[in-house]
A and B are shown apart, each in its own frame.
Chain A
Amino acid sequence: MLSLLRHARYVMSENPVTGLAFALFAVFLLAAILGPLIAPYDPLQSNAAMALKPPSAAHWFGTDQLGRDIFSRVLVATRLDLTIAFASVVLAFLLGALSGVAAGYFGGWTDRVVGRLADTIMAFPLFVLAMGIVAALGNKVINIVIATAIINFPLYARVARAEANVRREAGFVEAARLSGNGEARVVLGHVLPNIMPIMMVQMSLTMGYAILNAAGLSFIGLGVRPPDAEWGIMVAEGANFIQSGEWWIALFPGATLMLAVFCFNLLGDGLRDIIDPRKRT
Chain B
Amino acid sequence: MLKILLARLATAIPSIVGVVVVTFMLTRLLPGDPAAYFAGLSASPQAIAEVRAKLGLDKSLPEQFVAYIGDLLSGNLGNSLSTGQPVVTEIATRLPASAELTLFALILAVGIAIPLGVLAAVKQGTWIDHLCRIVTTAGVSLPVFFTGLLFAYLFYYVLQWAPAPSGRLDVFLSPPPHVTGFYLIDSLLAGDFEAFRGALGQLALPAISMAIFSLAPLARMTRGSMLSVLGSDFIRTARASGLAPRTVIFSYAFRNAVLPVITTLGMVFSFLLGANVLIETVFAWPGIGLYAVNALITSDYAPVQGFVLTMAVLYVALNLVIDLLYGLVDPRVRLES
Q: Which residues of A contact B (CB under 8 A)?
A: 116, 119-121, 123-129, 131-133, 135-139, 208-209, 212, 215-216, 219-222, 232, 235-236, 238-239, 242-243, 245, 247, 250-251, 254-255, 257-258, 261-262, 265-266, 269, 281
Contact = CB atoms under 8 A, between A and B. Distances in A.
A232 B18 CA distance: 31
B16 to A, nearest CB: 8
Contacts of B307: 128
B146 A131 contact: no
B88 to A, nearest CB: 17
Given A208-B141, A219-B145, A250-B146, A133 B296 contact: no
A238 B141 contact: no
A180 to B, nearest CB: 40
Given A125-B270, A258-B141, A261-B141, A135 B146 contact: no
28 contacts: A116-B14, A119-B14, A120-B18, A120-B22, A123-B15, A123-B18, A123-B19, A124-B22, A125-B273, A127-B274, A127-B277, A128-B277, A128-B308, A137-B29, A139-B31, A212-B141, A216-B144, A216-B274, A216-B278, A221-B296, A238-B149, A239-B149, A251-B150, A257-B143, A258-B141, A261-B140, A262-B141, A265-B141
Nearest to B142: A258
B138 interface: yes
Given A212-B143, A262-B141, A126 B274 contact: yes
Given A242-B152, A262-B138, A257 B19 contact: no
Contacts of B30: 136
Q: Which of A128, A138, A220 is packed against the most chain B CB atoms within 10 Å? A: A128
B149 A221 contact: no
A158 to B, nearest CB: 13
A219 B278 contact: yes
A131 B290 CA distance: 13
Given A128-B277, A239-B149, 15 more contacts: A124-B19, A124-B311, A128-B307, A132-B23, A132-B304, A132-B305, A135-B26, A135-B305, A136-B26, A215-B143, A239-B145, A247-B153, A247-B157, A258-B142, A262-B138
Contact of B149 (A133, A209, A250): A250
B301 interface: yes
A128 B311 contact: yes
A220 B298 CA distance: 12
A85 B144 CA distance: 18
B39 interface: no
B143 A120 contact: no
Contacts of A222: 296
A258 B23 CA distance: 32
B219 to A, nearest CB: 12
Q: Which of A129, A136, A251, A257 is packed against the most chain B CB atoms within 10 Å? A: A136
Interface pairs A-B: 4 shortest CB-CB: A127-B274, A120-B18, A138-B31, A254-B146
Contacts of A221: 293, 296-297
A136 B278 contact: no
A236 B16 CA distance: 34
Given A116-B18, A220-B278, A136 B29 contact: yes
Given A123-B312, A254-B150, A265 B140 contact: yes
A238 B311 CA distance: 28
Interface of B: 14-16, 18-19, 21-23, 25-27, 29-31, 137-138, 140-146, 149-150, 152-153, 156-157, 164-165, 220, 224, 269-270, 273-275, 277-278, 281-282, 292-293, 296-297, 301, 304-305, 307-308, 311-312, 315-316, 319
Contact of B153 (A121, A242, A258): A242
B238 to A, nearest CB: 25
Contacts of B140: 208-209, 261, 265
A93 to B, nearest CB: 21
Contacts of A254: 143, 146, 149-150
A131 B276 CA distance: 13
A122 B19 CA distance: 10
A239 B146 CA distance: 9
Given A120-B22, A220-B281, A220-B293, A128 B312 contact: yes
A125 B312 CA distance: 6
A215 B274 CA distance: 13
A232 B277 CA distance: 14
A127 B311 CA distance: 10
B7 to A, nearest CB: 18
Nearest to A220: B293
A116 B301 CA distance: 27
Nearest to B308: A132
Contacts of A123: 15-16, 18-19, 312, 315-316, 319
A258 B141 CA distance: 6
B153 A135 contact: no
Contacts of B145: 216, 219, 232, 235-236, 239
A86 B250 CA distance: 44
